[in-house]
Amino acid sequence: MTKDHKPVVPGWFTTSGEDFSLLGTRCTACGTVFFPRQETFCSNPACAGTEFAEVPLSRRGTVWSYTNAGYRPPAPFVSDPDAEWQPFTIIAVRLEAEGLIVLGQGAPGVGVDDLKVGVEVEIVPGVLYENDEHVYTTWNVRPVEVKA
């Protein structure tokens, strides 16, 4: 039996098709983009906007910085306490068109040695964890040049 796929947080990224992207919102009054999505008030202090349109974020960006998790993070991070700990990378990606930096876990197999500040990366679908009923999906980041 195949398990249901569920986004770790609904509405933060597309869940169908090949055009995977993060989903943010854009204030229709001032153009500021919000991720995570903001839908009732605008945090630009000079803007009274109250209407927001959903926007897909750029699929590619550049590495602003990167690190890894050498130790198992505490809950609410989900991991199997009996499995040997495998460090994952955390990558800060600069999205030029949106004028923001967003964090993501590196795709499986991406290590800190594969990264450098300024290199081009892409945002791709990934799996955060699974339990007996569901596979919880998320977004991952990987360098464009090591694409399989």
Partner 1 sequence: MSTDREIVVLGAGMHPWGKWGRNFVEYGVKAAQDALKDAGLAWQDIQFVAGADTIRNGYPGFVAGATFAQALGWTGVRISSSYAACASGSHAIASARAQILAGLCDVALVVGADAAPKGFFAPVGGDRPDDPDWVRFHVLGATNPAYFGLYARRRIDLYGASVEDFARVKVKNARNGLANPNARYRKAFTMEDVAASPIVCDPLRLMDICATSDGAAAVVLCSKEFAARHTTSPVRISAVSTVTPTFPSALIELPDIATDSSVAVAPHDLSFRASLAHAAYQEAGIGPEDLSLAEVYDLSTALELDWIEDLGICARGEAEKLLRDGATEITGRIPVNASGGLGSFGEAVPAQAIAQVCELTWQLRGEAGERQVSGATVGITANQGLFGHGSSIIVTR
Is 30 a binding residue for Zn ion by CB under 5 A? The answer is yes
- Classified as helix, coil or strand, 145 is coil
Shortest CB 100 distance to Zn ion, Å: 14
Residue 112 Cβ, how far from partner 1 at the closest point, in Å? 5
Q: Does 77 bind partner 1 (CB under 8 A)?
A: yes
Q: Which of 28, 19, 99, 108 is nearest to 62 (CA)?
A: 99
Q: Tell me whether residue 22 or residue 27 sits nearer to Zn ion (CB atom).
A: 27
124: contact with partner 1 by CB under 8 A: no
Close Cβ partners of 93 (under 8 Å, ≥ 6 residues apart): 61, 62, 63, 64, 101, 102, 103, 104, 121, 123, 141
Alpha carbon distance 122, 57 (integer Å) = 11
CA distances from 100 to 7, 107, 113 (A): 23, 21, 24
Could you tell me how many residues of this chain bind partner 1 (CB under 8 A)? 48
Determine, following the binding rule CB under 8 A, whether residue 31 of this chain makes contact with partner 1: yes
Residue 33 or 107: the one with the smaller Cβ distance to partner 1 is 33
Q: Interface residues with partner 1 (CB under 8 A)?
A: 8-9, 27, 30-36, 43-47, 64-71, 73-79, 87-88, 90, 92, 98-105, 112, 116-118, 128, 138
